[in-house]
Amino acid sequence: MQRWIIATIICLAASAPTAAPADSTRETTRELRDLVTTLSPQIESLAAHTRPADWQLLRACLYYALAGRFLLARHGVDARLESGSIMYDPSTPWRHGIDPHVWLESRTHLIDFATLPRWGVVMVIPRTLVALDPVEVIPGVTRALIVNRRRDPEYFACLEAHRERFTDELRRRGLPANPAPGCRDATCGLYLPAWPRY
């Protein structure tokens, strides 16, 4: 009987689907956190030099997101811009809401470079710890709540104008406006309204 059980376990193990291979875009939390930490000085510099001169860095979340998206794409990490309002640590007394706000989302993580001037660190949060509705907030577990997402055409038009400004600044600095390998034009990965939901 014992041999039969061992043989069954071995057969099940051999026939079980293998875990998905690690994503080549550095999607594990530790690798992604290490990458964004390494890129942070470049992202701060790029955001500072591409934003409108009258924008304070603390209010330049869009330019942090554009710079972060640009530099992450150069390292093979695919992320899209999201906008709306967000609350960090929603179940705690030190919760912090930001509205309006722009951040990045990959298939597996929420990435917010705009927290650099606020807290000195980039927020890299697995999507499993991000709530999309207040009823999904688990006290002590949920790290962020996406309060709402902006989808109105006027807002997208405003963001598009800033994306064009960012792309123009990249070109002025001699940087490719299209860093991602699979992209065919400068708007790839930077244009907000047409992006599919993950």
Retrieve residue 156's tokens: 């997208």
pLDDT at residue 58, as a whole number: 72
Please say whether the beta carbons of 63 and 47 come within 8 A: yes
pLDDT at residue 174, as a whole number: 85
Q: How confident is the chain (198 residues) per 10-residue block, as mean pLDDT?
A: 44 39 56 94 91 84 94 92 95 92 94 90 94 95 95 87 91 74 43 33
* DSSP state, residue 14: H
Please say whether the beta carbons of 90 and 64 come within 8 A: no
Question: For the domain with range 22-172, which CATH number is right: 3.40.30.10, 3.10.550.10, 1.10.1070.20, 3.50.50.60?
Answer: 3.10.550.10
Compute the half-sphere exposure of residue 85: CA atoms within 13 Å on the CB side of its CA: 11
Domain ranges of the chain: 22-172
| Amino acid present at 67 | A
pLDDT at residue 155, as a whole number: 85
Cα–Cα distance, 193 to 196 (Å, whole number): 9
* pTM strictly above 0.95: no
